[in-house]
A and B are shown apart, each in its own frame.
Chain A
Amino acid sequence: MSLLFRSRQQGAQQVKISGFRRFVMFWVHNAQQAVASLGELARYPLASLMTMAVLGLSLTLPATLYVVVKNTETIGADWQHASEITLFLRKDLSQQEVSTFHKRLSLSNDVESVRWIDKNEALQEFREASGFGDALNALENNPLPDVLLVLPVANKRGTAQAQALAQQLSNEREVEQVRLDLDWLQRLEALLNLIRDGLLALATLLCVAVVLIVGNTIRLNINSKRDEIMVMKLVGATDGFIQRPFLYTGVWYGFVGGFIAWLATAMVIWWISGAVADISELYQSQFRLSGLNFNEMMVLWLVAIGLGLLGSYIAVRKHVRTIEPQ
């Protein structure tokens, strides 16, 4: 409906287009404008690709770090058994006493399982594995103690609880020595936290940079179309109508930029996976670096598109309004 002339109707109403068709046409127009924006980008492929590459590569660094953290966390989870408490028992205990102690511990509420490494079996194994067979044969007594490996119940595996349990066990009459290797686990956790915080800070900085870069590129686009925008405003285009192609341009930057981020992340992970394999070989582990899964790829893509859209939104909000016909 015209503002000034009551009898005058607007285009779509004048040609009698139903509400449903107008709704459909709204989306058709949007799709057309999206394609038109893509065509506009294709007119300057190098410049467009450079902006997309900046966006994509900026996201590659946080994405790669994320993959590293994710993989390290899985290793950490595998090593939860590291909170196993090793009990070295007194050597003067009889087989019977060790067995009783084993059973008593197994019944404790704090303990999930107890594995008994018999000193004779341990000696046998050591003899076979170490190559000191003859030297060991020369010994009169078995120098090894009986060992119990105590795995605390799930909620006692935390650093502090495991330490308390170890302390408690060390007071047992049968126990000679207690060992709990938690220090390195604590260090790993602290290191992971550091990387995670650093990752968050880095990702935030890079995202802000991406928004600024896209915003600046769109601002230049807007300025280069100054005359066109003026003409559109003269013939009655709303700011929303003028903004839409620029917003789509931002979306396309993100769309392709996200794709570049996938590729670049995959390449970086492929690059470092060789080194990771070497390291895990040294630790006799079958560990292999796992890349981004489908959901993570989608999130990365959405983040890229969101950043492109945000950057262009900031630019159009600020600059389309200031261009007024003269």
Chain B
Amino acid sequence: MIKFEQVSKTYPGGFQALNNVSFHLEPGEMAFLTGHSGAGKSTLLKLISMMERPTAGRVLINGHDLKRINVRQIPYVRRDIGMIFQDHRLLMDKTVLDNVALPLLIEGYSMQEARKRVQAALEKVGLGDKLRHYPMMLSGGEQQRVGIARAVVNKPPLLLADEPTGNLDPKLSSEIIKLFEDFNRVGVSVLIATHDLGLIARLRYRTLTLRDGRMINDGLQEEG
């Protein structure tokens, strides 16, 4: 699903965020990406969502080299990737309904057609009754779940999460992770960046570890 081949990323100014990183995430696989702050987790996710381009090496999604994707095609790539952020990035002046419907409206759905799917996605994250609420009226955990509903509403084959449990207590965190497990069970590939080592230890998923921009463990050698 996601394949990195000797990928390096050097930012303008000389900071090398990723150094010769290679790994392969299989379709339908769920994995954690870990490492301390500044190890390159966010950069790695940005390369997948095309917010950054690699300085060297190749990034492939489903066998397609992202180098071949031009600027105009980037939005279409992002429609195939559900993205979840630590700060959830909701539009605070729009209702939960409008927030979650956004990816569908962008794809050309009418609001009536979108509403059914939005309802379904919100039911899935347990917020079926919060359609008319504004994000400010919701708790941190609920806001995060609205962000997840938005990421999955158009049923992308790939989910990326950047510190999705960063601001949440352990109980809420495991609820969020359970949601990801549910999506993974229906065939969605999931990559979760986190430095919550306790969370990773409790769950026995493949864990990719970055340190200073190098992949020191791609989670496969350990078992092998």
Contacts and interface: CB of A to CB of B under 8 A. Distances in A.
Interface stretch (A47-55, A164-172, A235-243): A235-243
A235 B102 contact: yes
Interface string B152-174: 00100100000000000000000
Contacts, number: 81
* Size category, A interface: 20 to 34
Contacts of A10: 79, 107-108
Given A10-B107, A231-B91, A325-B51, A238 B80 contact: no
Contacts of B51: 324-326
B27 to A, nearest CB: 10
Contacts of A237: 75, 102, 106
Interface string A21-58: 01001101100000000000000000000000000000
Given A228-B91, A234-B83, A4 B64 contact: yes
B76 A236 contact: yes
A11 B154 contact: yes
B77 to A, nearest CB: 6
User: Which one of A2, A28, A239 has the greatest number of beta carbons of chain B within 10 Å?
Assistant: A2
B109 interface: yes
Interface residues of B, number: 30
A12 B75 contact: no
Given A10-B107, A11-B108, A12-B107, A3 B157 contact: no
A22 B80 CA distance: 21
B57 to A, nearest CB: 18
Contact of A232 (B49, B104, B106, B109): B106
A233 interface: yes
For B49, B51, B106, B154, the residue with the greatest tally of chain A CB atoms inside 10 Å of its CB is B106
B209 to A, nearest CB: 24
Nearest to A28: B110
Contacts of A25: 108, 110
Nearest to B103: A235
A5 B108 contact: no
Contact of B157 (A5, A22, A235): A5
Given A8-B157, A235-B103, A324-B51, A3 B110 contact: no
Contacts of B73: 3
Residue among B83, B89, B104 having the largest count of chain A Cβ atoms under 10 Å = B89
Interface of B: 49, 51, 61-62, 64, 69, 72-73, 75-80, 83, 89-91, 102-104, 106-110, 113, 150, 154, 157
10 contacts: A3-B77, A8-B157, A11-B104, A12-B108, A15-B113, A25-B108, A227-B89, A235-B83, A237-B75, A238-B106
Given A10-B107, A238-B75, 11 more contacts: A2-B80, A3-B76, A3-B80, A4-B80, A5-B80, A8-B80, A10-B79, A11-B107, A231-B91, A234-B83, A235-B103
